[in-house]
Structure 1
Amino acid sequence: MTSDSTRAAELHRRALIIDGLVFRCDTDAVLRQGNVAAVNITVADFNADFEVVCDDIAAWLARATDPAGPWHIVETVADIHAARKADKIGLIMGWQNMRGIGDRLDRLRFFHRLGIRVMQLTYNERNFIGDGCLEPADAGLSLFGRRVVAEMNRCGIAIDLSHVGHRSAMDAATLSERPVLLTHANAKAISDVPRNKHDELIKAVAETGGLVGASVYGPMCWDGNPERRPNLEDFYRHLDHIVSLVGIEHVAFGTDFPAVADLDSVGSIIQMTLDRYPTAITKYAAAFGNDARTRYPVDCGSPAELGKLTELLVAKGWTDADILAFLGGNYLRVLDAIWTV
């Protein structure tokens, strides 16, 4: 009989793994160690304006067009398969804030032509589109935001609601004619922290045909105990709850890891999240320190360790088909429905 560890290793080896969110990346090495086939990388600063966004995209396009480089730009699901066949990492270029379009609807098609395929409507705060999840007013989408949702549908750009306020996210899920995503978000019913999502929204995302990407990000998995840093069992409580609400076909994962050669290189981002958004991170940072090394589960701190997710699901009794769907199969189906125009 095949042991659980052998079965998990084989499943992980043959899976087409898609990570729904990496917030910073400067190397493919840790992604290859985790057998990642494609990844939604945040290719621009969280609060970048139009000019900075263009410069950041230009830098990534230069990296990705190097024939000797490790990246293959993903504009369609076929590109994910092509990346794996070419032994490259599929680069899904994404944003975590739409400040780069300002109040200009025509910029959506422009950025689509540049290769952006996932856009998060807001990042914690308010922009021209709607409210972020830390805005106390929790207003819905603006009139402009409603036009943005329709235009993203027309262009074939995935709508990400992870850092979006509840009412704005519910509006987007209601208005969208294509599936919408929570690329990296957990369940508020399990951990009542600002970044986690109400069951109502999780169900609304699934009703669009979309996906909820459960995340290993520590502050969203934490049970509030300052004596115990989160581990993968805490992550699984969220995943299991989401599956019980909407079914395995609407679940994926987004680690919110940095895929970097040196974790100190993201120190300024880690500090920014504490300084600018204290309501989201202060208690966690006070308990465990404000460092990239402590922002993740004690037993899974890097994309290189993604095999531990597969081991966990095998140990929990998941079928091979469900594990493969979670690791990437669901994303292949849903992204094809969003990107095909």
Structure 2
Amino acid sequence: MLDRREFLIAAGAATAASLTARLHAADVPAWPPYRNTIAIDGESGLFLFGSDADPTETPAELAAARASGLSAVLLSIGPNGRYWNNDAQFEKMKAQLARVRGIVSARPDAFRLIDTAADLQRAHADHQLGLIPRFQGSEPIGEDLDRVALFRTLGIRVVQITHNRRNLAGDGSTEPGNAGLSNFGHALIERLNHERVVVDLAHGSQRTMAEGIAASRAPVLISHTGCRALADLPRNTGDAELRAMAERGGVAGIIFWPYLRTDTQPMAIDVVRHIEHAIDVCGEDHVGIGTDGGIAPVARTPQFEASNRENVKAMVGDGIFEHGRPADLYMFIPDLNVANRFELLAGMLARRGHKDARIEKILGGNFARVFAEVWR
């Protein structure tokens, strides 16, 4: 059974049309440097890499990956808030990493696994989509910190400490207690630093993020988030935490989910607003993009619309969204629902007066800097 994020990625895999386009209501000028820019999505993926996907059924996704112009994505292997600490799930994570490696080996023209910073450059130069395997939640490590080294050997390069809920390491964003990092969480971050694995604090509670930033000796990511000053929601990051993260060299990726507003559906201008606020707080060296959606545009079929409404209803029930939000809330940005959304966003930023060098950092240069520093 697909989780809600996998549902969204699967919906993208269903379409082969409208891979690239201009914004429907705006005359967005082209941004000529895009195809020469390393662009990295701090949370994205393809249904192709899901545990139940059939690689022969996803040609639209391969076309979208090429059309996107992305150099790399942080690819969630799991657990996405779903798994507890048991041997079955430990083995499942190892099997899923092996499956990703197998797909990459079969399609070296399209994909490259990213082990080092140099691999990012190679993926970009060879027009491949680089894949940076990560855990979205530290549950696969269980209580055995030696698994950090094992999973690094198997390809994991980023570990998100928590998902929405509480785990052994700390509190996630939907936990009302806001208990922060546990003693184990502090030990986990120390071990991740030692093994040169990037610490990701996305989905953490406010206190977990603050304590994680302080605990890490290396720059951290908040890979997919919004600015709490603009939308006061638990999944967003406060200005104090953004400043502390930036002071230690980290990067926050702006999300494409409805956390960018507290009322209606976010649109492209809301993404820009959050990027610009983060620049004002953090500086241009500490802002990126983490869409938290599939690369392929979502096919808004009647079947999708019905399923999406059910998902929104369930998320309201889980406390992820507030009561009163639109029933047809989308976990993507409707006027950026194209594969080359980074290119369009770059054009919007350029039109608003942002210089090319700043845009290049936001599209992926800042993430690449952190990876080079931590993975060295």
Task: Answer whether TM exceeds 0.5 for this pair.
Answer: yes
Aligned equivalent of 1:83: 123
The answer to whether the aligner puts 1:41 opposite 2:80 as a matched pair is: no
Aligned equivalent of 1:339: 375
Supply the distance in 2 between the matched residues of 1:43 and 1:270 (Cα, whole angstroms).
26
Equivalent position SS for 1:197: coil
Q: Summarize deviations over 1:121-141 as a string: whole Å, max 9, x none.
A: 011001110000100101021
Aligned equivalent of 1:256: 292
Supply the distance in 1 between the matched residues of 2:305 and 2:120 (Cα, whole angstroms).
27
Task: Give the alignment of 1:84-233 within 5 angstroms.
Answer: 84-217=124-257, 219-225=258-264, 229-233=265-269
The answer to whether the aligner puts 1:241 opposite 2:263 as a matched pair is: no
The answer to whether the aligner puts 1:20 opposite 2:42 as a matched pair is: yes
What number of residue pairs does the alignment pair up?
Answer: 328
Supply the distance in 2 between the matched residues of 1:63 and 1:267 (Cα, whole angstroms).
32
Equivalent position SS for 2:40: strand
Equivalent position SS for 2:133: strand
Q: 1:269 to 1:61 in 2, by over 3 A?
A: farther
Q: Which runs of 5+ in 1 are unaligned?
A: none
The answer to whether the aligner puts 1:311 opposite 2:347 as a matched pair is: yes
Q: 1:303 to 1:278 in 2, by over 3 A?
A: farther
Question: 1:215, 1:254 within 8 Å by CA — same for their partners in 2?
Answer: yes
Aligned equivalent of 2:7: none
The answer to whether the aligner puts 1:11 opposite 2:11 as a matched pair is: no
Equivalent position SS for 2:132: strand
Equivalent position SS for 2:33: helix
Q: Summarize deviations over 1:50-101 as a string: whole Å, max 9, x none.
A: 1221222121111112254521000111001111233311111112111111
1:52 to 80, 92, 95: 92
Equivalent position SS for 2:131: strand
**How far apart are 1:267 and its partner, in Å?**
9.4
1:63 to 93, 103, 108: 103
Supply the distance in 2 between the matched residues of 1:179 and 1:73 (Cα, whole angstroms).
22
Q: 1:302 to 1:134 in 2, by over 3 A?
A: farther
RMSD: 2.4
Q: 1:78 to 1:12 in 2, by over 3 A?
A: same
- Between the aligned residues of both structures, percent identity stands at 30
Equivalent position SS for 2:32: helix
Supply the distance in 2 between the matched residues of 1:244 and 1:256 (Cα, whole angstroms).
23
Q: 1:203 to 1:234 in 2, by over 3 A?
A: same
Equivalent position SS for 1:299: helix
Aligned equivalent of 2:328: 289
Question: 2:158, 2:197 within 8 Å by CA — same for their partners in 1?
Answer: yes
Supply the distance in 2 between the matched residues of 1:206 and 1:80 (Cα, whole angstroms).
23
Aligned equivalent of 1:321: 357
**How far apart are 1:312 and its partner, in Å?**
0.9
Q: 1:260 to 1:274 in 2, by over 3 A?
A: farther
**How far apart are 1:174 and its partner, in Å?**
0.3
Question: 2:254, 2:275 within 8 Å by CA — same for their partners in 1?
Answer: yes
Supply the distance in 2 between the matched residues of 1:267 and 1:180 (Cα, whole angstroms).
38
Write the letter of the residue equivalent to 2:314.
Answer: D
Q: 1:94 to 1:32 in 2, by over 3 A?
A: same
**How far apart are 1:333 and its partner, in Å?**
1.3
Equivalent position SS for 1:131: coil
Q: 1:86 to 1:279 in 2, by over 3 A?
A: same
Supply the distance in 2 between the matched residues of 1:116 and 1:281 (Cα, whole angstroms).
30
Of 59-68 and 197-206, the range deviating more from structure 2:
59-68
Write the letter of the residue equivalent to 2:340.
Answer: A
Question: 2:79, 2:140 within 8 Å by CA — same for their partners in 1?
Answer: no
Question: 1:28, 1:70 within 8 Å by CA — same for their partners in 2?
Answer: yes
Supply the distance in 2 between the matched residues of 1:164 and 1:256 (Cα, whole angstroms).
15
Supply the distance in 2 between the matched residues of 1:77 and 1:17 (Cα, whole angstroms).
13
Q: 1:91 to 1:137 in 2, by over 3 A?
A: same
Equivalent position SS for 2:157: strand
Supply the distance in 1 between the matched residues of 2:351 and 2:255 (Cα, whole angstroms).
19
TM-score of the superposition, structure 1-length normalised? 0.89
Q: 1:148 to 1:202 in 2, by over 3 A?
A: same
TM-score of the superposition, structure 2-length normalised? 0.81
Supply the distance in 2 between the matched residues of 1:23 and 1:281 (Cα, whole angstroms).
23
**How far apart are 1:176 and its partner, in Å?**
0.5
